[in-house]
Structure 1
Amino acid sequence: MPLLHKIAGVVIVCAVILGLTLPGERRAREKAPTAERAGNTSGTADAATAAKASGTPAPGGSGTPSASATPTGPIPAAAPAAAAAKANELGQVPVLMYHRIVKKPEMSLDRSSKELYDELTRLAKGGYCPITAGEFAGGRFNVPAGKHPVVLTFDDSTPGHFALDASGRPQPDTAVAIIQRVAQENPGFRPTATFFLNKELFGLEDGPAGAGLKWLVQQGFELGNHTMTHPDLAGMSEQKVHEEIGGMEDRIVQLTGAHTATLAYPFGSVPRKEKWARGDGARYSFQGIFLAGWRPSPSPFAEEFDRWNIDRVRSEGKIKENDCTKYCSTAWLEYLDKNPDERYTSDGDPNTVTFPKTAEDRLDGTYRARARTY
């Protein structure tokens, strides 16, 4: 083999090794490893890009200031309360990914009702405040000063996520009932989550399914798109991708009268052309897309944030499977507890983006007008 070919091979191997991201390392973002079965009004990629350039909010977008209107002078000082709270709104945000919630786990991605209760209680005691996937993707959320946003996502719309009893209340041990219970026990813990839906819709027939979806929205939960049949989109044609995503969107709109804001890729698998998933005319048009993921997401105000490839973290203990000892929720939450300077901490003001001066180089320039430092 020619010497230059050998050298090229060594360079590629080194690049791959250096690209592996361990907890807390801030390297260039790559596509995360996919789980076995992964799991939201919205602007298209083109609309969002145009809005960013012009300063005009895209449909469902965050209305970020235009680059041309961005101040170039020193960033103003943060409010004393924000500095006292050690706000860092360029820090990492855990987007937790759940699948089946059952009394006794049978599959690798299952979590028991008790495990979900324990993890949510841990989040509440740790100062986390749930927000929806759509709020996060659009950078539009309000979390109290000193608290940390967390996004709870549930894939595949299985019966253990949601069901109502004869009196119209959530069935005990379902995800919705557990979320509401933790919120009642921990004032300030917002009872919300995003459910990425497949056609089964919690195992309900169309009539009950429509009533159930409307109940969820009325109670502050969010609905997202997860395709009709949960296929691997990577090997599908443009038409098939549109059918899978559009078919699910059609059904949700038929049952609720409203579109979803975000999509979660089944298996975390990206189509051959990402634009096929982002929008299809008036049929669907997303604000953000979520991967299957193995790491917290960058802040939506950080330069490295990519709304079309948002990282998630599998909910799991520190087990060997899929390297959960480093990359699943228990390990990551422990890491962020031990390294609070790397975690997103709110300044309590949704109109400003506060962070330490040392983090200024990570700010997305379109948010500079809202930036504050200390």
Structure 2
Amino acid sequence: MNRLKVVRTGMVAAAVGSLLAGCASGQNDSHDTNAGAAKPAAAKSAAAAQQATLQAKLAKAAQAHANELGQIPVLMYHRVVDKPTTQDDRTPQQFRTELERLAREGYVPITAAEYVTGHIDIPAGKHPVVLTFDDSSPSQVTLDGTGNPMPNTAVGILEEVAKKNPGFRSVATFYVIRDLFGKENLPEEAAQILLWLHDRGYDIGNHTRDHKNLHGKSKEQVTAEIGAGQELVSKLINFKPVTLALPYGNQPSTKEWGLKGGSGNAGYDFGGVFLAGYTPAESPFSKKFDPLGIPRIRSMDKKGDCAKFCSTAWLDWLKAHADERYTSDGDVKTVAYPKFKTPFLAKRFTDRALGY
């Protein structure tokens, strides 16, 4: 009997609740009808807006001839000195001339860190170039007493060219070793230079501490040397390099040792490992991109071996084969390319794909 009473009570309560709900809805039936009709209309409007946005992005990419699966020159420099003593040295005038050519031909410098992470934020129609400097020579950056770079250093020249060419960014990546721009035994002054670079958007990379050839070394030796290079920077400023340039371009017997290893403060997990030279690099969005061995191009004129394989020759080639060169659509959130290149897109970037 009690069970029947409970059930009846529940049925009455439910009926009252239903009645109240019906009264409430009945007070504004016409409004609800309009709202129901408005929902599909709003959805259609949102879909139309999204489609219009997509079409605008596709049109912009097509107008820019965007190809974000194209090749990117990663240029390799060492010393910038008045009297070169090795084939890797460039004079201030040679360096300035090459930068002016890059600006004239629509290149915009990005850092190695930006490149390997795919954060290539440059205007539509422009082409990225990565400027890298090995061995942390004083000729690359020396600060005067007021904290400004000396005029004929690499940074001084880069800043000068950037001022004369709006949109040409004054950024580069410096692969440091223990010399630390001639400040090995002056930690405060070394830290001062690293902070100056970091605060202005320049990138600091790992080139190992002692610039030892890693080829043929044991895993322990390889990871210790790279880890020491990581600690060299992190002890001076609050920053850990995210890319490595291999000394002499020589890979360890197991390539993966160069990408990840070490322990504690000396641990590393890089986004990319750079070689010493040879060809333009693949887009970070391409299936061909290999973070274990990213090629660079030696800065040099067309002569000898460099008639085909150094910066002047490769910049000529990229100019003549514009469809092979990375060209931006101006939107860092998308990866734009001619639709027929879709098979070359790495799957992890499918959600950013913009094939036109």
Aligned residue pairs total: 297
SS in structure 1 at match of 2:308:
helix
In 2, Cα distance between equivalents of 1:314 and 1:127: 20
Shift, 1:293, TM fit: 2.2
2:200 to 213, 216, 219: 219
Shift, 1:79, TM fit: 2.0
1:103 and 1:173 in contact (8 A); partners too: no
In 1, Cα distance between equivalents of 2:119 and 2:233: 23
Shift, 1:242, TM fit: 1.9
In 1, Cα distance between equivalents of 2:314 and 2:78: 18
Superposition map of 1:9-28 within 5 A:
none
Structure 1 residue aligned with 2:299: 315
User: Normalised by the size of structure 1, how large is the TM-score?
Assistant: 0.78
More RCO (CA 8 Å, sep 6+): 1
SS in structure 1 at match of 2:323:
helix
2:127 and 2:325 in contact (8 A); partners too: yes
Unpaired segments of 5 or more residues in structure 1? Answer: 1-75
Structure 2 residue aligned with 1:302: 286
Structure 1 residue aligned with 2:119: 140
In 2, Cα distance between equivalents of 1:155 and 1:191: 17
Counterpart of 1:354, as a letter, is A
In 2, Cα distance between equivalents of 1:200 and 1:230: 10
Shift, 1:277, TM fit: 1.9
1:327 to 298, 301, 309: 309
Structure 2 residue aligned with 1:114: 93
In 2, Cα distance between equivalents of 1:83 and 1:255: 46
SS in structure 2 at match of 1:200:
coil
Larger C-alpha radius of gyration, 1 or 2? 2
Counterpart of 2:188, as a letter, is G
1:198 aligns with 2:182: no
In 1, Cα distance between equivalents of 2:87 and 2:230: 29
Q: What CA deviation, in whole Å up to 9, does each residue of 1:85-117 have, x standing for no partner?
A: 100001100000001111121111111111110
Structure 2 residue aligned with 1:368: 350
2:256 and 2:292 in contact (8 A); partners too: no
2:173 and 2:204 in contact (8 A); partners too: yes
Q: What CA deviation, in whole Å up to 9, does each residue of 1:272-325 have, x standing for no partner?
A: 1223222224422211110112000011111110112111111100010xx210
User: Normalised by the size of structure 2, how large is the TM-score?
Assistant: 0.81
In 2, Cα distance between equivalents of 1:276 and 1:360: 32
1:101 and 1:110 in contact (8 A); partners too: yes
In 1, Cα distance between equivalents of 2:344 and 2:336: 12
Structure 1 residue aligned with 2:242: 261
Structure 2 residue aligned with 1:125: 104
2:72 and 2:128 in contact (8 A); partners too: yes
Q: Which has the higher helix share?
A: 2
In 2, Cα distance between equivalents of 1:276 and 1:297: 21
In 1, Cα distance between equivalents of 2:59 and 2:150: 45
Structure 1 residue aligned with 2:255: 274
Structure 1 residue aligned with 2:268: 284
Counterpart of 2:290, as a letter, is D
